[in-house]
Amino acid sequence: MIANLVTKPSRLIIGLMSGTSLDGVDAAIVRVEGQGLATKAELVAYTAVPYDDKLREKLKELCSVEHSDVAKVCGMNFYIADVLADAAERAVAEAGLTMADVDLISSHGQTIWHIPIADESDWSLVRSTLQIGDLSVIAKRTGKPVVGDYRTADMAVGGQGAPLVPYADFILFRDEAKGRIVQNIGGIGNCAAIPAGGLPEQVIAFDTGPGNMLIDQAVHTLSDGERSYDAGGQWAARGKPDGAVVADMMSHPYFAMKPPKTTGRELFGKAYAQQWMERMRAKGLSDADIVATFTAFTASSIAQGYREFVLPAAPAQEVIVSGGGAHNKTLLAMLGDLLPELTVTTSDALGISSDAKEAVAFAVFANNFLFGIPNNLPSATGAPVPTIMGKLALPG
């Protein structure tokens, strides 16, 4: 079954991405040709399957030491796999295809916990990561081979297991004449700075910090659960950011750490958001001011990361934004104001859907897995060597 796939001129792969924003599953049907850095990927169809509020809140519990437990993780590992399988089947149906047309499924899984640096206070908390959504459940449900659980392989050879997408960013966005910074703004923000005509080892990539995560949490809390995100940045646009609060938040030690580095809900989750909302309330900030302040914090963390760790070594002319944050006009305007010498645009303007881009990336990862070609980017994750990431689950 697998051996036959590498002899085909192209493969139709479904990439499934469910990120730290916990907003749902992105399912991209991608036609992939070639292998390695010569890979070509064409988006055939894209479907977004949102999580409902009940599932989103359950997942937030699993991402919290105070509210998670082994039974909940065990059950959700299978439950979310069914959600992922549903997303794959829905994408195929909406594209007017059948599963018989599909060669392979690639799933990132849902991140529950990530420990990029060992906890010195507890010998058992070694460098590790956990993405749930059992691959065998997806394979048996869909009848297709499934590749997934990518991060663990990078960590096993000494990397931080993230960010992974810069490998695909290099393939999709490298330009001979322009230096580009590809910025994904999902729950967490991550960037990949690709010098003009650069080589893979010259890419500078890291998690810039919170993306939509804090904004979404504030909107959910302040709207009493009626909204899950700030559509178009409209709420933030009605408020005024508190510069002193932004400066205080920027003093978090994560932002001074040199790349490679990665983060998640462990540092910038619900408890962190609630702490800062309480402080802003005590200062008399309105709801709109609070959302605007979190939005300004995200923009500031991205811009500062560029100024300290990217631009001195990799001059750039463009910032290409993807992910849910690409739709937040207020956030993009703030980023443009902080980086006036750079052109801030979205991947849509270059013909690659900002919503689908990360799911497309995982289709690329699975394709390299088939050919036995390393699919991590050591300059991004800190791994000392390239390695083949992924595990395979067969349907039979």
pLDDT tens digits along 210-220: 999 999 999 99
Q: Reply yes or no on whether the pLDDT at 357 is more than 80.
A: yes
User: How far apart (Å, rounded) are the C-alpha atoms in residues 360 and 194?
Assistant: 19
Residue pLDDT, tens place only, 367-394: 999 999 999 999 999 999 999 999 999 9
Q: Are 103 and 214 in the same domain?
A: no
More confident: 156 or 1: 156
Grade residue 308 by pLDDT with cuts at 50, 70 and 90.
very high
Question: Is 152 assigned to a binding site?
Answer: no
Q: Are 106 and 149 in the same domain?
A: yes
User: How far apart (Å, rounded) are the C-alpha atoms in residues 103 and 9?
Assistant: 12
- Cβ contacts of residue 310 below 8 Å, gap of 6+? 181, 191, 193, 204, 316
Q: Reply yes or no on whether the pLDDT at 105 is more than 90.
A: yes
Q: What is the pLDDT of residue 35?
A: 95
Look up residue 278 and give its two tokens: 């309480």
Which residues lie across from 395 on neighbouring strands?
Answer: none
Q: Reply yes or no on whether the pLDDT at 22 is more than 90.
A: no
Number of residues that this document lists for the chain: 396
Q: What is the pLDDT of residue 77?
A: 98
- Maximum pairwise Cα distance, the chain: 64
Is 353 buried (19+), middle (13-18) or exposed (0-12) by CB count in 10 A?
middle
Q: What is the percent of the chain where pLDDT is above 90?
A: 94
Range of the domain at 287: 166-350
Question: Is 199 assigned to a binding site?
Answer: no
Look up residue 240 and give its two tokens: 């005024």
Q: Are 201 and 332 in the same domain?
A: yes
> What SS3 class is residue 187?
coil
**282 backbone dihedrals φ, ψ, rounded to 5°:** -65, -25
Question: Is 345 assigned to a binding site?
Answer: no
User: How far apart (Å, rounded) are the C-alpha atoms in residues 358 and 301?
Assistant: 21
> What SS3 class is residue 49?
strand
Q: What is the pLDDT of residue 108?
A: 97
Mean pLDDT of the chain: 96
Q: What is the pLDDT of residue 19?
A: 79
User: How far apart (Å, rounded) are the C-alpha atoms in residues 50 and 227?
Assistant: 13
Q: What is the pLDDT of residue 66?
A: 87
Q: What is the pLDDT of residue 235?
A: 98
Q: Reply yes or no on whether the pLDDT at 42 is more than 90.
A: yes
Q: What is the pLDDT of residue 23?
A: 87
Residue of 194, 205, 210 lying closest to 302 (CA atoms): 210
Question: Is 26 assigned to a binding site?
Answer: yes
Question: Is 230 assigned to a binding site?
Answer: no
More confident: 285 or 162: 285
Residue 239: its H or E element: none
Q: Are 370 and 304 in the same domain?
A: no
CATH of the domain at 277: 3.30.420.40
Q: What is the pLDDT of residue 325?
A: 96
Question: Is 25 assigned to a binding site?
Answer: yes
> What SS3 class is residue 295?
helix
Q: What is the pLDDT of residue 356?
A: 96
Among 2-6, 205-209, 247-251, 330-334, where is mean pLDDT lowest? Answer: 2-6
Q: Are 201 and 336 in the same domain?
A: yes
What is the number of domains present in the chain?
Answer: 2
Q: Are 120 and 24 in the same domain?
A: yes
Q: Are 142 and 24 in the same domain?
A: yes
Q: Are 296 and 238 in the same domain?
A: yes
Question: Is 370 assigned to a binding site?
Answer: no
Q: What is the pLDDT of residue 21?
A: 79
User: How far apart (Å, rounded) are the C-alpha atoms in residues 375 and 382?
Assistant: 14
Q: Are 360 and 319 in the same domain?
A: no
Question: Is 21 assigned to a binding site?
Answer: yes
Residue pLDDT, tens place only, 149-197: 999 999 999 999 999 999 999 999 999 999 999 999 999 999 999 999 9
**78 backbone dihedrals φ, ψ, rounded to 5°:** -85, -40
User: How far apart (Å, rounded) are the C-alpha atoms in residues 358 and 108?
Assistant: 10
Mean pLDDT confidence for 339-356: 95
**150 backbone dihedrals φ, ψ, rounded to 5°:** -75, -40
Q: Are 258 and 114 in the same domain?
A: no
Look up residue 30 and give its two tokens: 């991608």
Q: Are 274 and 182 in the same domain?
A: yes
Residue 213's identity, in one-letter code, is M
Q: Are 144 and 215 in the same domain?
A: no
Look up residue 315 and give its two tokens: 């001059």
